[in-house]
Structure 1
Amino acid sequence: MATIPQDINDRLRRLEAELRALTTAANRRPALNQIMHGDVQIGEGGGLSVRQPGGAETFRVGEAGPIAGEHALIVRRRDGSVALSVWNGTTADDQAQAVRIKDAQGHELLSEDVVAGGLARPHLPIPMGPAQATDWPSTSDTSWTDLQVAWPEIQHPRLEVFAQAVGNGNGGDIRITVDGQVVASGATGKPIQTTFKIPGYEFGAHPKITLQARAKASSTVWACVQRMYGVAS
């Protein structure tokens, strides 16, 4: 079939359409609220800030510390109070920045010791027990007898425990139970030193944990839990 010559007006209209398409493509920009690939870099003392509609800042990372030049991270509540921060108030390279979590009144709930390592807060209690074994709870019963009991609020799925027992005569046995289930066993001269899963673990529950002992015939058993705390899975 023979090619039909195009009128000059047809050719001009086609060129205009192609030019319009090129101009549209050149002016098209990607969405400004998405980053599909690559990293975002903020340097030269800059920072990233998230603000509420009223203008109050709720999140900042970058140059955010209380002094100029310190790069830090601060998360605030909508009332402006600090909820979480990573800063130390200095730009000295040899001083690590501390992680801090605060309550709504500004009290420090959790922070790290950046000098020696470990916790700065909370302050954890260290209970002490009788130094003399004969001052520990005791039993001469040959049946299992509760010597110590606790109803803690469980916040970890496992417990680590250390318990000792001494006895006279033939001694006896000890064990740890959780809601009646035996989770660890020992004997006089054989301490319980183990980590075990809490049966039927449920965060915030209050199971009954007991140290039980039973003596052999004509004997007495003294026993005491000397360390117990929750640990992760």
Structure 2
Amino acid sequence: MPALPDDILARISRIESQLRETTGRAQIRPPQNTAVGGDLVVGGTQALRVLKASGVGDQFLIGQDGGQRVARFYRPDGTIALSTVVQTTVWDGAGNPVVQDDPGGVGLGRPYLPMVAAPARTGDWLATTNATFEDVWRLSPIKLNPRATITIGHIADAATAGEVQVTVAGSPVGSPTTVGTSQTATTVGPFTVPGTLESTVDIRVQARRTSGAGSVRLAVLAASGFHS
């Protein structure tokens, strides 16, 4: 076999080196079902749809659907759990919306939250004449929020003074509030709600008379859970 020129041998060596480098890169690249170092982009009128393991039915869908930008997440049984179209909605297993933001763009649309009512006439408020703190109002909420607030209306009869305080699980929240002869509303909190999630919490609104011969009157005007 005749000798090959040096430039041909050099070319063959370079080709072999490039083949080895290409093969090595192919072995270390991420698998084709993994995105590393970049975004997975779905544009236009398309959507990212992830099917169940069976291949029938969606686990979730994000993108365009029916001309709208949507996101939908499904339970294993196929019922919808969470969706975002015009509103963000959490659905129960029967297909009823249980939590929604408001379509007007501000605040909560569902659920409808209860409000507290109290007598407008202070003479109808519960009262105490005790010289030591007495439970006048009691709340037993189930803990869902980490903190809470209570607004208390209070007033003392003529020539009488007193104090009001809130206790949670038997411990006072802060310092007592002075009660005078002018009708006043005091908000206590936000204070920490003790216990585990969904446990029952013992909250008391207490009052006492510190001077005079009349009564110290009070009403719970509002009570609400609060965020951290």
TM norm structure 2: 0.83
Q: Which AA in structure 1 matches 2:161?
A: G
Greater relative contact order: 1 or 2 (C-alpha under 8 angstroms, separation 6 or more)?
2
Pair 1:187 & 2:181 matched: no
Against the structure 1 CA distance between its residues 224 and 17, is the aligned structure 2 distance closer, same or farther, given a 3 Å change threshold? Answer: same
Q: Which residue of 2 aligns with 1:62?
A: 63
What are the equivalent positions in structure 2 for 1:28-177 lying under 5 Å apart?
A: 30-55=30-55, 56-64=57-65, 68-87=66-85, 97-115=86-104, 117-168=106-157, 169-177=159-167
Q: Which AA in structure 1 matches 2:198?
A: G
Against the structure 1 CA distance between its residues 199 and 80, is the aligned structure 2 distance closer, same or farther, given a 3 Å change threshold? Answer: closer
Q: Which runs of 5+ in 1 are unaligned?
A: 1-6, 88-96
Q: Which residue of 1 aligns with 2:218?
A: 223
- Aligned counterparts of 1:146 and 1:26: Cα–Cα separation in 2: 76
Q: Deviations over 1:162-204 (max 9, x none)?
A: 1121111312111111121110421324542232322645322
Q: Percent identity?
A: 24
SS at match of 1:24: helix
Q: Which runs of 5+ in 2 are unaligned?
A: none
Say whether the 8 Å CA contact 1:142–1:217 is kept in structure 2: no
Say whether the 8 Å CA contact 2:116–2:223 is kept in structure 1: no
SS at match of 1:225: strand
Alpha-carbon deviation of 1:205? 2.5
Against the structure 1 CA distance between its residues 199 and 86, is the aligned structure 2 distance closer, same or farther, given a 3 Å change threshold? Answer: closer
- Aligned counterparts of 2:64 and 2:172: Cα–Cα separation in 1: 55
Against the structure 1 CA distance between its residues 129 and 17, is the aligned structure 2 distance closer, same or farther, given a 3 Å change threshold? Answer: same
- Aligned counterparts of 1:73 and 1:155: Cα–Cα separation in 2: 27
Q: Which residue of 1 aligns with 2:198?
A: 204
Say whether the 8 Å CA contact 1:172–1:219 is kept in structure 2: no
Q: Deviations over 1:12-38 (max 9, x none)?
A: 986774464266368666421222112
Q: Which AA in structure 2 matches 1:69?
A: G
TM norm structure 1: 0.81
Q: Which AA in structure 1 matches 2:46?
A: G
Q: Deviations over 1:86-114 (max 9, x none)?
A: 11xxxxxxxxx210000111111101112
Against the structure 1 CA distance between its residues 26 and 138, is the aligned structure 2 distance closer, same or farther, given a 3 Å change threshold? Answer: closer
- Aligned counterparts of 2:18 and 2:76: Cα–Cα separation in 1: 51
SS at match of 2:173: strand
RMSD: 2.6
Say whether the 8 Å CA contact 2:72–2:84 is kept in structure 1: yes
Say whether the 8 Å CA contact 1:183–1:196 is kept in structure 2: no
Q: Could you tell which deviates more after superposition, 134-143 or 115-124?
A: 115-124
